[in-house]
Amino acid sequence: TGDNRTDTLDTAVAIIAALGLSTGQVFTCVLINTSDAAETITLADGADADVVNVGQTIAQNESALLVIRCTSATAVSVYVVGA
């Protein structure tokens, strides 16, 4: 608590299994930063789970749409939209 943070994505294989994705499918969700101070969240790549617009941050009281696209049976691309 009290600091900016970087969250590393899980592995692509784990994300694909958890969401039941097939190649070409997309899953969306919202990441909301409800920190109690001016703390930002940054997403980092996981194994074969690539953040396309790396370095995009989500500031306190902001949210971002995460678009997870399954690019193969073992890889995903994650887009951070609107932060």
pLDDT tens digits along 12-22? 999 999 999 99
In whole angstroms, what is the distance from residue 64 CA to residue 57 CA? 9
pLDDT for 2 beyond 90: no
Could you tell me the pLDDT band of residue 45, with boundaries at 50, 70 and 90?
very high
Helix (H) or strand (E) holding 12: helix 12-19
